[in-house]
Chain A
Amino acid sequence: MASAERANTAQRRCEQQQPRTVPQPVAVAVFTVFASLLFHFVILWAYALITVGEHRTISVVDDVENKIGIFSILVLAKACLGDFPLPILGIPLTISLSGAWLTLRELRLQPALLGLGIGTLSATFGPLVVHNIF
């Protein structure tokens, strides 16, 4: 009896809702989707889990060749990330390369993220500087 009254009270409250409310299932569903998107955003863009597969071709390799030195890897990463829909403030993100064919005067290998380093590297260059810190 008491539970029926409570249900009636709840029903009445639903009918007499003020306009500035959101249905709870909708709110929870929207929040869940929003949080999932944020989670994937953080994972993909902050932790650099993006890898370049063998089927991807680097179309701006000529630009990369002109920018030699310490920023070679970052410039290459930025060029690859240009295909993604959300370039963030032009910040070059470091990615892990599964293979790279470059012709550079100087190549510096930066520490790879998540242990996913360069698997195949065919390059023609002068001095090779490897920051082997691990």
Chain B
Amino acid sequence: MASDRADTTTCSVSLTLFVAALLASLISAGLVWIALVLTGLGCTSDTSHLASWYPVCKAYERGAYLALVIVAFGTQVVGAAHALIRKRAISLLVGLTMSLVLLAAHFLFVPFIY
């Protein structure tokens, strides 16, 4: 316990953890970007009037997926920041995992909410 407290008082973080935090943020942003661009392109294609696309495009136009950016990407950023501040790599993994789960859940449930 005392050693844990002492570890958190050191004034540097490992380069590996720092690079991992940057990479995790890049991966999370890339996944969110790909998901949104695919949705946007799908909603501007000729198939957007089909019933299968209707709820997705409706939610997209109403700005529902803006929440996806904030929630999914924000979760990962908070996890990475916590990992850098507390120097615990597990926070990085938890943040990235939660981000992926929220990304999937958002695309599954948002069309039926909005």
Contact = CB atoms under 8 A, between A and B. Distances in A.
Interface residues on B, range: 35 or more
B55 to A, nearest CB: 11
A21 B60 contact: no
Contacts of B25: 31, 34-35, 38
A31 to B, nearest CB: 6
Chain B interface, DSSP helix/strand/loop, else mixed = helix
Contacts of B77: 35, 39
A111 B18 contact: no
B21 to A, nearest CB: 6
Interface string A15-47: 001001111110110111011001101110111
Contacts of A27: 12-13, 18, 21, 84
Contacts of A20: 14-16
A10 B6 CA distance: 7
Nearest to B33: A46
A50 interface: no
Nearest to A9: B6
Given A22-B18, A111-B48, A46 B10 contact: no
B84 A94 contact: no
A113 to B, nearest CB: 6
Q: Quick one: which of A27, A28, A30, A39 has the most chain B CB within 10 A?
A: A27
A94 B6 contact: no
Contact of A74 (B9, B33, B44, B85): B44
A21 B14 contact: yes
Interface residues of A, number: 44
A13 interface: yes
A58 interface: no
B32 to A, nearest CB: 6
Interface of A: 6-7, 9-10, 13-14, 17, 20-25, 27-28, 30-32, 34-35, 38-39, 41-43, 45-48, 70, 73-74, 91, 93-94, 110-115, 131, 133-134
20 contacts: A6-B6, A14-B10, A20-B14, A21-B15, A27-B12, A27-B84, A31-B81, A35-B77, A35-B80, A35-B81, A39-B29, A46-B69, A91-B37, A93-B37, A93-B40, A94-B41, A111-B44, A113-B43, A131-B46, A131-B48
